[in-house]
Amino acid sequence: MCGIVGYIGKHKAYDVLVKGLHRLEYRGYDSAGIALLKDDGTLNVYKAKGKVANLEASLSGKDVEGTLGIAHTRWATHGEPNDMNAHPQVSQSRSLAIVHNGTIENYNVLKEALVQHGYTFTSETDTEVLVQLIEYVKQENRCSLFDAVREALLQVVGAYAIAVVEKDNPDTLIVARKSSPLVIGIGQDETFIASDATPIVEYTNQVIYLKDDEIAVISRKAAIQILSLENNLPSQLNIQTLRLSVEQLEKGGYDTFMQKEIFEQPSTLCDCLRGRIVDGGERVVLSGVIENKERFLHAERIIFVACGSSWHAALIGKRAMQEMCQLPVEVEYASEFRYGNPYITDKDIVIAISQSGETADTLAAIQLAKSKGAFVYGVCNVVGASIPRNTDSGTYIHVGPEIGVASTKAFTGQVTVLLMLALCAGEIRGTVRPDTIKEIASALLRMPDMLTEVLKLDPVVSELAKIFTYAHNFLYLGRGYNYPTALEGALKLKEISYIHAEGYPAAEMKHGPIALIDQEMPTVIIAPKDSLHDKIVSNIQQVKSRGGLVIAITNKGDSAIARLANYCLEIPDVPECLTPIVASVPLQLLAYYIAINKGRNVDQPRNLAKSVTVE
Ligand code: G6P
């Protein structure tokens, strides 16, 4: 939530910053702002409500010179989205400007103290409190900007990634982090900072991921000094090489990122599977599991923690792990787990699933699980993010950057990794038969082709979407492995089209949602030929006999369902545990086309953000 970007070097900062803001817009788009510092000490700060494009439009004809600058795209936490609350926030004397991603929890106490010292505030943000505090400390202690930022941060409780500039200090940029991500890009006589590597990658592939409780002083000649916030001792510069290309961050001929990401799934699944299914499709090898064989062998319980679509993937993982590892498995919303005083032992394996690797609740759940002695395993997409750095081991899903706010290829990648995890751990535990491993592993290898097949439904789904674009409510039903698919299908629709949609276990429908069924409310039923096929046929009958309209996701040639459903979308036959992967693709397309027909911005739906770094 919120994206920050900064530049210091020999080029015009504005161009780098605005391009960077566009790349970070997935993190929030309530407002955007920029502060530019010119060599003569002029500090220009510009802000605009809404998207980065609004900021750009408002700057035509304005002075945007300067080779040092910071910028921000906001997902509002404190104060409504307007120009006053937009970042950068400036100090009372207007000599300091700051951008901030995170929340300052004790801002009220700090604010009251500053008011006593004569400070007045123009915004409702916690960030303004921080910049005023830095100014106050600097004036009181007559110290350097670095010392003032450090001293102020020691008084702060909360989460932050910040970048600060000072009017009379055009050669210095100060950054710091605690629980919110910050990457430093090292160029030739220039340095970039950003919430993630996407604004940096076209200038350099040499980066440093700032750690929690670190502060860095970056000077114009690309000199970077990183120190511990706590004891002021220098940290080693751990320079890493990015494996990210600019092409991965562009739409590549598609209308939207979401559409690109849906259609990329055959190739992203290839990347996800690469090197992990060995011996001609007979075995699954995940290094994170193999290296921790003993942990998986002696585990007594698995607990998944996740949020959003990652939580839905966890529900599928639960079923697979239960079946293949013969272990009790629980799935928790990270936000509930962290405050639920959970009973955890050192025989538990906590698996944290997160596309971004930055979700604040999931990170906090990890810290809690670790403090209670659990072994913590991460399943993430963004390489080098906070969650993979804070877990004991893990597996990347390797589906490339996901930019559309609604998760698509990350979800299918997560499910794929969780099935591989269940097979790999099950083999270690001796709880899954070799022929089962072979059957599922070789079917996994065929999944990219299966998804290519499913994507041929695109024109059919696009037509179907026209019929249902103006429905006000949708019900999604599924059973077994596809109950979570129903939840995910409903979430996709509601987040990008703003149509109310509810996912439900098909048999539970008769305990409530059945009362809603009428001709106005379509029911999407995921009904492959699996072990619960006969049961779901009855559930379809229950909907139909109450006058409901049914869109069924079925296997080819399923005449029992074809006779009942109003519309069928046919998916290829795959082993039961893999059906969520093939079934979720037509649901992604259905949500996509309905949202497009309604004129929604599918990549940046209202009120949402891709990376939720606040509680
Ligand atoms: C946000 C995103 C969702 C995502 C969820 C969890 O709500 O919009 O797409 O599923 O966060 O994010 P994570 O990065 O932890 O998977």
Residues 459-470 have pLDDT tens digits of: 999 999 999 999
Above 80 in pLDDT, residue 614? no
Residues with CB under 6 Å of ligand 1 are 307-310, 354-356, 359, 362, 405-407, 608, 610, 612
**Quick one: average pLDDT of 303-313?**
98
**pLDDT band for position 281 (50/70/90)?**
confident
pLDDT, position 610: 83
**Quick one: average pLDDT of 367-394?**
95
| Mean pLDDT over each residue of the chain, to the nearest integer | 95
Per-residue pLDDT tens for 488-512?
Answer: 999 999 999 999 999 999 999 889 8
pLDDT, position 151: 97
Q: How far apart are alpha carbons 296 and 147 in whole angstroms? A: 47
Higher pLDDT, 374 or 280: 374
**pLDDT band for position 213 (50/70/90)?**
very high
* Local structure of 484: helix, strand or coil: helix
**Quick one: average pLDDT of 516-534?**
93
pLDDT, position 26: 87
Q: How far apart are alpha carbons 561 and 572 in whole angstroms? A: 15
Count of CA atoms in the C-beta half-sphere (13 A) of 533 = 14
* 86-to-74, 89, 97, 351, 615 alpha-carbon distances in Å: 7, 7, 12, 36, 20
Of 519, 533, 523, the residue nearest 565 (C-alpha):
523
For residues 302 and 408, the answer to whether their CB atoms sit within 8 Å is: no
pLDDT, position 373: 97
Count of CA atoms in the C-beta half-sphere (13 A) of 234 = 6
Q: Taking the model in full, what pTM does it have?
A: 0.88
**Quick one: average pLDDT of 292-321?**
98
Which of 2, 307, 424, 568 is catalytic? The answer is 2
**Quick one: average pLDDT of 268-290?**
94
**Quick one: average pLDDT of 242-248?**
88
The total of other beta-carbon atoms located within 10 Å of residue 63's CB is 12
Lowest pLDDT segment from 79-83, 333-337, 362-366, 534-538: 79-83
Q: In the chain, pLDDT over 70 holds for what percent of residues?
A: 100
Above 90 in pLDDT, residue 12? yes
Q: In what order do the strands lie in the sheet with 549-555?
A: 500-505, 473-478, 522-526, 549-555, 567-571
2 noted as active-site residue: yes
Above 80 in pLDDT, residue 104? yes
Ligand 1 centroid, distance to 196 Cα (angstroms): 16
> Which residue CA neighbors atom 7 of ligand 1 most closely?
308
Strands (E) located in 488-548: 500-505, 522-526
User: If residue 7 lies in a helix (H) or strand (E), which one and from where to where?
Assistant: strand 3-8
Above 90 in pLDDT, residue 75? no
Using most ligand atoms within 8 A of CB, pick from 309, 363, 408 the residue to mutate for ligand 1. 309
> Position of tokens 């995910």?
488
**pLDDT band for position 437 (50/70/90)?**
very high
**Quick one: average pLDDT of 355-371?**
96
**Quick one: average pLDDT of 438-444?**
96
Instruction: Give the orientation angle of helix 579-597 with respect to helix 483-497, to 10 degrees.
Output: 20
User: If residue 194 lies in a helix (H) or strand (E), which one and from where to where?
Assistant: strand 191-194
Using most ligand atoms within 8 A of CB, pick from 412, 612, 615 the residue to mutate for ligand 1. 612
Q: How far apart are alpha carbons 542 and 548 in whole angstroms? A: 9
> Which residue CA neighbors atom 2 of ligand 1 most closely?
610
Ligand 1 centroid, distance to 542 Cα (angstroms): 34
**Quick one: average pLDDT of 105-122?**
96
62 noted as active-site residue: no
**Quick one: average pLDDT of 525-553?**
94
Pairing relation of β-strands 473-478 and 375-380?
Answer: unpaired
Three-class SS string for 51-100?
CHHHHHHHCCCCCCCCCEEEEEEECCCCCCCCCCCCCCEECCCCCEEEEE
Question: The tokens of 57 are what?
Answer: 């439009």
pLDDT, position 513: 87
Ligand 1 centroid, distance to 40 Cα (angstroms): 43
Lowest pLDDT segment from 248-252, 329-333, 370-374: 248-252
For residues 560 and 463, the answer to whether their CB atoms sit within 8 Å is: no
**Quick one: average pLDDT of 481-490?**
98
Question: The tokens of 23 are what?
Answer: 């790349």
Q: How far apart are alpha carbons 550 and 552 in whole angstroms? A: 6
Which of 178, 260, 318, 610 is catalytic? The answer is 610
**pLDDT band for position 245 (50/70/90)?**
confident
Per-residue pLDDT tens for 130-178?
Answer: 999 999 999 999 999 999 999 999 999 999 999 999 999 999 999 999 9
**Quick one: average pLDDT of 538-553?**
94
Neighbour-count burial for 6-39, b at 16+ CB within 10 Å, e otherwise = bbbbeeebbebbbbbbbbbbbbbbbbbbbbbbbe
Ligand 1 centroid, distance to 399 Cα (angstroms): 15
Strands (E) located in 267-416: 277-278, 283-284, 301-306, 329-333, 348-354, 375-380, 393-396
Cis before residue 88, ω within 30 degrees of 0?
yes
